[in-house]
A and B are shown apart, each in its own frame.
Chain A
């Protein structure tokens, strides 16, 4: 069965530190990849997505992610985090075939301290 693994469940950083959140998926076919973010008390919203083309994609608020097909990975990065980045981050994979359901990872809670 297809699955999405997020390696870090909780991450604590100080402001201005660099961030990298890992995401790996288990599916050998064509995929579309997403990172969603859920700020405290808010609904899930899209951070960035990869469909095709340049494997380095840029999203909102200075986030970027790199698709490495050989490693089945789609890691999220930000060079310098801010307190306002405190949120839960979810990696998701859209599996082709069938009705294209989106499979989510377990999420990573990020806490950024001033």
Chain B
């Protein structure tokens, strides 16, 4: 089974802090994604990566950056956290270009 592991299930940060969310997948997938999930808005794509050191902006990249130094690891960075970034963050990976996404359990971030 594909396993996508997100390092932190729950985080509480203060406004202005730098936040790192880590995601690791164990299936040698090329594609990795970061979404945020908010009630009534579904999942919105923040960034995705189709290869090591390659990244593309999703629909809501503002306030976020990403890093993909190794194939199995995709990090989401909030340079200066703000209260409107309080959300559930979901990491996913995908092997084939049109295949299904495999999701991690999510990281619930609260910014005070």
Chain A residues in the interface with B (C-beta under 8 A): 4, 6, 9, 32, 34, 36, 42-46, 49, 51, 90, 92, 94, 96, 99-107
Chain B residues in the interface with A (C-beta under 8 A): 4, 31, 33, 35, 40-45, 48, 50, 56, 58, 90, 92, 97-98, 100-101, 103-106
Could you tell me if B58 and A101 are in contact, using CB atoms closer than 8 angstroms? yes
Could you tell me if A100 and B106 are in contact, using CB atoms closer than 8 angstroms? no
Could you tell me if B98 and A104 are in contact, using CB atoms closer than 8 angstroms? no
Could you tell me if B97 and A100 are in contact, using CB atoms closer than 8 angstroms? yes
Give chain A nearest CB distance to B95 CB in angstroms: 12
CA distance A45 to B104 in the complex (A): 10
- 26 A-B pairs within 8 Å (CB atoms) are namely A6-B42, A34-B100, A36-B101, A43-B4, A43-B90, A43-B105, A43-B106, A44-B43, A44-B92, A45-B103, A90-B42, A90-B43, A92-B43, A99-B31, A99-B48, A99-B50, A100-B97, A101-B33, A101-B45, A101-B48, A102-B33, A104-B43, A105-B42, A106-B40, A106-B42, A107-B40
